Amino acid sequence: MSASPVRLEREGRVAVVVIDNPPVNAGSAAVRSGLLEAVAAVAADPALEAGVIIGAGGTFVAGSDIREFGQPLAEPQLPAVLAALAACPKPFVAALHGAALGGGFELALGCDARVAAMDAVVGLPEVTLGMIPGAGGTQHLPRLAGVAKAIEIACSGRRVKAAEALRLGLVDAVAEGDLRAAAVAHALALGGRKRPVSALPVPADPPEAVADAEKAALRAGKGRPPVVAAIAAIKEAATLPYGEALANERRMFQALRQSPEAAALRHLFFAEREAAKVPGLEGAAERPVGSAGVVGAGTMGSGIATCFADAGIAVTLIDQDEEAVARGLACVKQGYDASVAAGRLDEAEAERRLARIHGAVDLASLADADLVVEAIFEDMALKEAMFARLDAVAKPGAILATNTSYLDVDRIAAATKRPQDVLGLHFFSPAPVMRLLEVVRAAKTSPGALATALAVGRKLRKLCVVAKVGEGFIGNRLYAAYRRQCELLVEEGALPEEVDAALESFGFAMGPFAVADMAGLDIAWRMRQRLAATRDPRERYCAIADRLCERGRLGRKTGAGWYRYPPGARRGEPDPEVRALIEAASAAAGIARRAIDPDEIRGRALATLVREAERVLAEGVALRASDVDLVLVNGYGFPKHEGGPLFWASRQDRARLDAATARLA
Ligand code: NAD
């Protein structure tokens, strides 16, 4: 039998229970049994008057073993540990450092007091994994912080730092020096008295505060079942006897952890870890990146420069003339002003970040940059010329990246004498906000350059997904196929607003036509023009979007696209002119329009995504299915609770799905 991950040490009359389950002391059946034994030992030993629970290494219990939630839970379960702590006549103090999250924080809340190190964070991330806390979290949190604050913390799943935790009463003290010694002293100071959180009354929050917190949580959480359940459980803390509310919490937890939504969110959690594993990079040397350059100070370039400045990296932002540079810098400043106004950033920090960005027109100012990202117009000839110039000015070993949406990175690399240092860094708009970053590994990209780009991506706090070269990489390739299918549906009889409504009801943040209007119709228009010469003439081509562009309807920015946007309108409105244009296009293509129901719209759009995803995998453009899911969820508004197109497909009746994809062909 292997040694228990929990050991009992003694410091005079205090037992120090050490959880030692590397790397993060995750909860497990062995940890829980060890805790039960330790609590029993403390209770039975007259020489001991109190206990301290602490984690070995750099953290308390950072969370539960997430794999456990997909299976029947092994005994003993966490509520049994909490019950033992409650029943033990001697008080326990939780000593928190590193992270105390989920079951880890629930364990701490089951103790009689909590002492935190300055670096500690606490939180209940269960809702973000499709569940609710299941071991008293929803009952103990409101007793300490109030119902409104508990709703905010549990529904967002955010990490609360030690100083805020102290202010909210989630911890009793913050230890500046030795945590273990402080916790032992705190345990002795309790003088043997129990003070379980369960015995505290729930503070009476003003009803408006609770209603506001509830509304905000439902909005941010899109009204998903785990958010609704967490709110209900927390409110019960104030309305039901403790035992009854605790049992209800456990019941909801058990039901939700086995839900398809929780399975999808677990899939995405593990997908993020997998995405970081890139074959062929073992032993590759990362290069230091202390300064960066961005060429093209438009929508993307100014956003990308902001990302570098946010990460503490000095950046030179280049455009063709002073005016364009000034526009780019003004755009950056506007972004920071908005963050300050919204309270996300303090003014001094915004100033510091802004000061990291310098504008310039001369490419020679990039001579010292360790990494350059090109974000000029989407045009191969322009990009080739730019890379030849960058090759001439950049220092040896500098990485040259393109933010191209669709273009062939191998060709761009071939314009330089250092193709081994060229790759794609495909940011999404708005760059400072969107977490996804497709990192495109070109045929000649060296492992060192790729490893460096991934390290920079992580420093920018992006979710990096590696793709190979191919028209539109992973995301834009799938999205182009999906959008085209939606346009065919419109040509056959559906209206844009019907397609958008059907896909929004599936859970997409926005339907494809609302998205197109927001992003601008001209990008895809240019792509279609570029591909026109090589398009298979037998391929069905829907020209409605071209007709819109020819009329100057380029989307929101021109006041009209698939919808019209009267001044001040928050959403687009269906436009009779577009309807007439669509009907004329159907007639011109010899198509008798028919009503298409939402099920058919969803079925065809999703089957298209799945079919294209399978091709991307077969061609090796994506390394693995879960990478495709990450891209669609984090870059294209595919609903998280469905886990991405390939996870969704794995849950469908395969014969039906195959029939649907066969029909598309
Ligand atoms: P944009 O038109 O807003 O900006 C392009 C900028 O590049 C302009 O300011 C222009 O003056 C400048 N520029 C053009 N040629 C230049 C040159 N030779 N030297 C210096 N500056 C030059 O375009 P954008 O939307 O920011 O797109 C830039 C790139 O990013 C494109 O390749 C695009 O496909 C890609 N991209 C765009 C998005 C998006 O949503 N807009 C998303 C991902 C990737």
Q: pLDDT, tens digit, for every residue of 548-569?
A: 999 999 999 999 999 999 998 8
Ligand 1 center to residue 590 CA distance, Å? 39
pLDDT confidence tier of residue 2, bands split at 50, 70 and 90: low
For residue 313, count CB atoms less than 10 angstroms from its CB and return exposed for 0-12, middle for 13-18, buried for 19 or more. Answer: buried
Q: Tell which atom from ligand 1 comes closest to the C-alpha of 300.
A: 26
On the question of pLDDT at 612 being above 70, the answer is: yes
Q: How far is the C-alpha of 141 from the C-alpha of 271, rounded, in Å?
A: 30
On the question of pLDDT at 236 being above 90, the answer is: yes
What was the pLDDT predicted at 45?
98
- Cα separations (Å) of 265 from 10, 257, 450, 474, 641? 41, 10, 28, 21, 6
Q: How far is the C-alpha of 444 from the C-alpha of 26, rounded, in Å?
A: 41
What was the pLDDT predicted at 600?
95
- Write the pLDDT tens digit of every residue in 75-88: 999 999 999 999 99
What was the pLDDT predicted at 540?
86
Of 620, 618, 616, the C-alpha closest to 632 is 616
Helix (H, G, I), strand (E, B) or coil at 565: coil
More confident residue, 620 or 2: 620
The response to whether residue 377 sits with its C-beta less than 6 Å from ligand 1 reads yes
What was the pLDDT predicted at 233?
98
Q: How far is the C-alpha of 498 from the C-alpha of 444, rounded, in Å?
A: 45
What φ, ψ does residue 241 adopt, rounded to 5°?
-60, 150
Active-site annotation holds for 208: no
What was the pLDDT predicted at 664?
79
Q: Which residues, 6+ apart, have CB-to-CB distance to 135 below 8 Å?
A: 77, 78, 79, 81, 82, 103, 106, 107, 110, 250
What φ, ψ does residue 479 adopt, rounded to 5°?
-70, -35
Helix (H, G, I), strand (E, B) or coil at 574: coil
What was the pLDDT predicted at 1?
46
Active-site annotation holds for 612: no
Helix (H, G, I), strand (E, B) or coil at 123: strand
Token pair in block for residue 355: 């000061």
- Write the pLDDT tens digit of every residue in 515-549: 999 989 998 888 888 888 888 888 888 999 999 99
Q: Tell which atom from ligand 1 comes closest to the C-alpha of 378.
A: 32
**What is the DSSP annotation of 409-471?**
HHHHHHTSS-GGGEEEEEE-SSTTT--EEEEEE-TT--HHHHHHHHHHHHHTT-EEEEEESST
What was the pLDDT predicted at 532?
87
The response to whether residue 297 sits with its C-beta less than 6 Å from ligand 1 reads yes
- Write the pLDDT tens digit of every residue in 12-70: 999 999 999 999 999 999 999 999 999 999 999 999 999 999 999 999 999 988 888 98
Ligand 1 center to residue 301 CA distance, Å? 7
Enter the pTM of the model. Answer: 0.93
Helix (H, G, I), strand (E, B) or coil at 218: helix
What was the pLDDT predicted at 538?
84
On the question of pLDDT at 174 being above 70, the answer is: yes
The response to whether residue 429 sits with its C-beta less than 6 Å from ligand 1 reads yes
What was the pLDDT predicted at 539?
84
Residue nearest (by alpha carbon) to ligand 1 atom 39: 429
The whole-chain average pLDDT of the chain stands at 96
- Cα separations (Å) of 247 from 100, 138, 290? 23, 11, 54
Which of 9, 37, 68, 126 is flagged as catalytic?
126
| Rounded mean pLDDT, 318-347 | 97
pLDDT confidence tier of residue 604, bands split at 50, 70 and 90: very high
- Write the pLDDT tens digit of every residue in 361-380: 999 999 999 999 999 999 99
Q: How far is the C-alpha of 422 from the C-alpha of 408, rounded, in Å?
A: 12
What was the pLDDT predicted at 656?
87
- Write the pLDDT tens digit of every residue in 136-171: 999 999 999 999 999 999 999 999 999 999 999 999
On the question of pLDDT at 285 being above 70, the answer is: yes
The residue whose CB lies within 8 Å of the most ligand 1 atoms, and thus the one to mutate among 299, 366, 556, is 299
Helix (DSSP H) and strand (DSSP E) numbers for the chain: 27, 17
Residue nearest (by alpha carbon) to ligand 1 atom 3: 298
